[in-house]
Amino acid sequence: MTPEALARLHRAAFTTQRPWSEAEFRDLLASPHVFLVETDHAFALGRVIAGEAELLTLATDPAYQRQGQGRMVLQLYHDEALRRRAETFFLEVAENNLPAIALYRANGYAKTAERPNYYRQTDGSRVAAWIMTRGHP
């Protein structure tokens, strides 16, 4: 996917938070540590540094949510991170993003910390970010 396509899908998937811009995707993809995995209707962007894999974002086309696309792209992310020698995995997720939290829990992640008032919602309110981690699968 191009940075334009990534931004378009991110905007469609993230309706209660600020979506990432084309420029943000372009800048991230320029890093040698950052990688993109995708299916026909979803993508995940991650990075591995010093054995730690961070899931930067995962987005699924709303028309294909709840059909296994997120699970598939998360598995692709794990596979690529392991190929890059990741030993641990972490991510941040909005505390009110219950479908994402369920996906991550089903894939071995557990809440290990919280950042209060981290994410600004489109209505101006703020919600906490959960930091979720998992070890080597």
Task: Tell me the catalytic residues.
Answer: 92, 104
Written as one letter, the residue type at 134 is: R
Contact call for residues 35 and 78 (beta carbons, < 8 A): no
DSSP string covering 44-69 = EEEEEETTEEEEEEEEE-GGGTTTTH
The answer to whether the beta carbons of residues 53 and 46 sit under 8 Å apart is yes
Select from 31, 34, 59 the least CA-distant residue to 47: 34
- Distance in Å from the first CA to the final CA of the chain: 27
